[in-house]
Structure 1
Amino acid sequence: MTPNTWLGIVGFFFFVSPGLYYDRKTALKRMKPPESTFAEISRVALVSTVCSVPAVLLLSGFAAVCAWRRWKILPDPAALLKQGTSYYADNFVRVSVTFLAAAVLAVVSAELLYRWVHRNDKGTITFESAWRAVLQVDAPGGTVPHARISMKDGSVWTGEIAHYSRGTEVADREIVIAPPITRKPKPNQNGPRAEAGKFPDVYERVILKDTEIAYIAVKYEPDRNTSPSTGTAPSHQTSGAHHSPSPAQNTAQAASAGTGNP
């Protein structure tokens, strides 16, 4: 490890990581306006510097106490800068623990700053796709989503949702439906009205692109692959059912009738 390398680690802990943490937390409360890469980097660096000041002050105060009590707990900054790699190698534990403590204090400062700045902001912004929320999260247990998908060309597809893209980018999303599949062709302005019909069973999946979809209507139906458990074995007898006598019983009845008194 060279001095430039460990100085780079220190710079990341103090001037990058707190700002990244704060930026990530802030994204859950407020939508950021479009900005240039330079503006984003500058904001992260500024927030990191502000959050690192309390960490530096706390470490400096602790270093002063250690010097007063003659505790050799923290590394010597002057020796670290002069000797560089050799000092770091000889005092690896002390230097690493000090850097880690500084990073933790800076991130804690970023968390306190976030809570103070957004103390009046209610709710949380999620970046979850509405497709996942409707097709998976909201589906009751033991059910599967069935969709009626209206395309921009006027055609309509219906079927069970088999798969779907979980990303938020519209251009990359797709949805897959499975049997029973029906399709209503797009309207023919010069011909008879198109009626919905069953899609050929030979095709087991149909892929539809989000860019071609106008809207999706969803309902939840019981899963055909899940059979409800009753907890008892099915009964093979029905109350009030007629039971035919066996051939042996018929023979005995006939013999008794032939020897009986008239």
Structure 2
Amino acid sequence: MIPQTLGALAGFLALVAPGIVFELRRERRRGRHQETAFREASRVALGSLVFTLVSVLLMTAVQAAGARLFVSPVGWLTRGEAYAREHLTLIVVSVAVELAVACALATGFEAFLARRRGEAATVQQRSAWAQALRTDRPIGSRAWAHAQLENGTSFYGYVRSYTPSGPLADRELVLEGAALTCENDAGTKVIGEDWRRVVIPGSKIAYLRVTYLDAVTGEPLTPPPG
């Protein structure tokens, strides 16, 4: 079912937000697993429902203690739109507080589970390509790569662009530069003066070596530790 109004869309997002928060934090520690969209959506929906219900119960307990800080569910159900029009600001505040409490519960529960399982480390959701070509690249440098293809041909050049993630068969690497070089059984030849760039399918690369050169002088640089 697709929400038809802005209010319905906001309500839907508020309902599923706690489950999404829980899943995103869990994936940071355990990594993403391949599963069906139905199973993932069901887990998000169930988590959101649990955290939302607990949040509503806590707010109801506050109301029962005598603090009239939030909307009255009974009044809203009995009077309907008339109550909503009269207490619009209170409804907005109540929904915002409920969402904040539910997301806080999701964050706290995920941290509790991670502590019990010893999952203190954060799993980086990035490929080795992104790590080597972007994250580890020193400031003020360019990545110089050697792409060894499966047929024995090698290309050397500055990294122009690349596909950072996804199946290797769908990735591409683009090398460029005046010193762009091709090496094969016929010998080694600088092709940068005749060809601006070379596009290499990721599925054809046997291995990829990377170093970092100063963007101005072309001198090798040392990547930062860690």
CA radius of gyration, larger in: 1
Q: Secondary structure at the match of 1:116?
A: helix
TM-superposed CA distance for 1:195, in Å, is 1.6
**Paired residue for 1:151, among 129, 149, 152?**
149
Residue 44, structure 1, aligned to residue 36, structure 2: no
Q: Secondary structure at the match of 2:65?
A: helix
Cα distance change, pair 111–175 in 1 and its aligned pair in 2 (3 A): same
Per-residue deviation, residues 137-158 of structure 1 (Å, max 9, x unmatched): 2223443221111112221111
* Corresponding residue pairs, total: 212
Identity fraction in percent: 25
Q: Secondary structure at the match of 1:168?
A: coil
Could you tell me how far apart the structure 1 residues matched to 2:8 and 2:216 are? 62
Q: Is the 8 A contact 2:59 2:70 kept in 1?
A: no
Could you tell me how far apart the structure 2 residues matched to 1:162 and 1:126 are? 24
Query: Equivalences for 1:30-179 in 2 at 5 Å?
Result: 30-66=30-66, 72-119=68-115, 120-178=118-176, 179=178
2:14 aligns to what? 13
Could you tell me how far apart the structure 2 residues matched to 1:28 and 1:85 are? 42
TM-superposed CA distance for 1:11, in Å, is 6.2
Could you tell me how far apart the structure 1 residues matched to 2:181 and 2:59 are? 69
Q: Secondary structure at the match of 1:28?
A: helix
TM-superposed CA distance for 1:12, in Å, is 5.1
- Aligned partner letter, 1:204: R
**Paired residue for 2:199, among 207, 213, 237?**
207
Residue 220, structure 1, aligned to residue 216, structure 2: no
Question: What RMSD over aligned residues (CA atoms) do the two structures have, in Å?
Answer: 2.6
After the TM superposition, which parts of structure 1 deviate over 4 Å for at least 4 consecutive aligned residues? 4-12
TM-superposed CA distance for 1:72, in Å, is 4.7
Could you tell me how far apart the structure 1 residues matched to 2:195 and 2:187 are? 20
- Aligned partner letter, 1:202: D
> Which TM-score applies when normalising by structure 1?
0.71
TM-superposed CA distance for 1:17, in Å, is 1.7
Greater strand percent: which structure?
Answer: 2
- Aligned partner letter, 2:104: V
Q: Is the 8 A contact 1:128 1:168 kept in 2?
A: no
Residue 196, structure 1, aligned to residue 188, structure 2: yes
Q: Is the 8 A contact 2:179 2:192 kept in 1?
A: no
Q: Is the 8 A contact 1:52 1:109 kept in 2?
A: no
> Which TM-score applies when normalising by structure 2?
0.81
Cα distance change, pair 158–32 in 1 and its aligned pair in 2 (3 A): closer
- Aligned partner letter, 1:18: P
Q: Secondary structure at the match of 1:27?
A: helix
Q: Is the 8 A contact 1:147 1:160 kept in 2?
A: yes
Per-residue deviation, residues 66-111 of structure 1 (Å, max 9, x unmatched): 2xxxx65432322312332232122100111111111111111101
Say which is worse superposed, 124-133 or 208-217, in terms of deviation.
124-133
Could you tell me how far apart the structure 1 residues matched to 2:179 and 2:75 are? 75
Could you tell me how far apart the structure 1 residues matched to 2:17 and 2:158 are? 45
